[in-house]
Amino acid sequence: MSDTLLLEIRGNVLLITINRPQARNAMDFEAATALAAALDELEARNDLSLAIITGAGGTFCSGMDLKGFLEGKRPSIPGRGFGGLTEKPPRKVLIAAIEGYAVAGGFEMALACDLIVASREAKFGLPEVKRGLVAAAGGLMRLPRQLPFHVAMEFALTGDMLAAERAYAYGLVNRLTEPGQALEGALALAGIVGANGPLAIAASKQIMVESADWSREEMFARQQPLTAPVFASADAREGAAAFAQKRKPVWQGK
């Protein structure tokens, strides 16, 4: 694994840290490749239920490394998008822990996550228009689904910053923390999520993401093949047994 990305396992949580503080964690091709590999590891390991992505040095990610861009090296992976994430988020839950700035592609990476924990002093933005560029890594598509339309349009067209407390008020951020505590807040949230059945977590996420364009007539039929294996799993039986026996369940992920 490249030193542009640090990995640490804490229980059933994979902690991913973008480690380019000298460049405000701007994403380059090497970091994107490393992040894609980390997400593959997350998906492949049965002992990992979810991941947290954060940035070193008090900044989440300042977007694309413009020096690399000028050299013709964009930090995108074919089929996976910016940072190896935005076009193909993992099946398992991904939490963004944000200090400082999450802007441009960094904001788009956060929008591709399932949950966001941010410092009260964090700032979000899509400033691409200020540079003659377009937020093409999902920001223009995801932001109006997560903010009121005209509010999203304002930030897309002005390129101005969105303060964390305003983002929290709109529901874009799940939890606010004091400065320097975003990772601890994300770990606490991960502990609550990760205590639940891993198959149930993954299926719940998949249904919520995919059902956005299901019609009323087909939605239960579309849901059934995703939920049936969970109800038939050993974990479902373990969950019921643990409840009856007043003990914590021991999940196997099968």
Residues recognised as catalytic: 108, 128
Tokens 């019609």 identify what position? Answer: 215
Q: Are 32 and 73 in contact (CB under 8 A)?
A: no
* Closest among 15, 54, 61 to 38, alpha carbons compared: 15
Region for 132 from its dihedrals, namely left if φ exceeds 0, alpha if ψ lies in -120 to 50, beta otherwise: left
Q: 219-231 and 234-244 are packed helices; what angle lies between their axes, rounded to 10 degrees? A: 70
Question: Given strand 13-18, what is the order of strands in its sheet?
Answer: 5-10, 13-18, 50-55, 93-98, 115-119, 175-177
